[in-house]
A and B are shown apart, each in its own frame.
Chain A
Amino acid sequence: MNSPVYELRDVVKLYGQREVLHLGHLVIPHGEITCVVGPNGAGKSSLLRLLNFLESPTSGQITFDGRPLNGKVPLSLRRRVTMVFQRPILLSASVRDNVAYGLKLRGEKEVEARVSQVLDLVGLSQFARASVKTLSGGEAQRVALARAIVIEPEVLLLDEPTANLDPYNGSLIEKIVAELNRERGIAIAVVTHSVFQAKRLAHQVAFLLGGREIEVAPAEQFFSTPANPRTAAFVRGEMVY
Chain B
Amino acid sequence: MGDLFRGAIQALRLILALDPQVLSILGLTLRVTGIALLFSTLIGVPLGGLFALRRFVGKRVVIAFLYTGMGLPPVVVGLFVYLLLSRSGPLGYLGWLFTPRAMIVSQVIISLPLVVGFTMASVMGVDPDLRRQLASLGATSWQATWAILKEARTGVIVSIVAGFGSIISEVGAVMLVGGNIEGYTRTLTTAIVLETRKGSFDLAIALGIILLALSFVANVAMLSLQGKRLGE
Contacts and interface: CB of A to CB of B under 8 A. Distances in A.
A and B associate: yes
Interface of A: 49, 52, 54, 75, 78-79, 81-83, 85, 87, 89, 91-92, 101-102, 105-106, 147-148, 151, 157
A87 B129 contact: yes
Interface in B174-210: none
Contact of B137 (A49, A87, A151): A151
Interface in B115-168: 127, 129-130, 132-140, 143, 147, 150-151
Contacts of B129: 85, 87, 89
Contacts of B150: 91
| Interface SS, B side | helix
A85 B133 contact: yes
Contacts of B143: 105
A20 B138 CA distance: 26
Nearest to A148: B137
Contacts, number: 47
Contacts of A102: 137-138
Interface in B205-232: 229
Given A85-B129, A89-B130, A54 B151 contact: no
| Interface SS, A side | mixed
B138 A91 contact: no
Contact of B136 (A75, A82, A106): A82
B132 A54 contact: yes
Given A54-B135, A105-B137, A147-B137, 4 more contacts: A52-B136, A75-B138, A92-B151, A151-B137
Nearest to B132: A54
Given A85-B129, A105-B143, A91 B135 contact: no
A85 B137 CA distance: 11
A187 to B, nearest CB: 16
A89 B133 contact: yes
B137 A75 contact: no
A89 B127 CA distance: 8
Contacts of A83: 133, 136
Nearest to B129: A89
A151 B132 contact: no
A15 to B, nearest CB: 15
The 10 A-B pairs of least Cβ separation, nearest first, read A79-B138, A89-B133, A102-B137, A83-B136, A89-B129, A105-B138, A52-B136, A89-B130, A54-B132, A82-B136
A82 B127 contact: no
Nearest to B144: A105
A159 B206 CA distance: 63
A105 B146 CA distance: 12
A136 B229 CA distance: 19
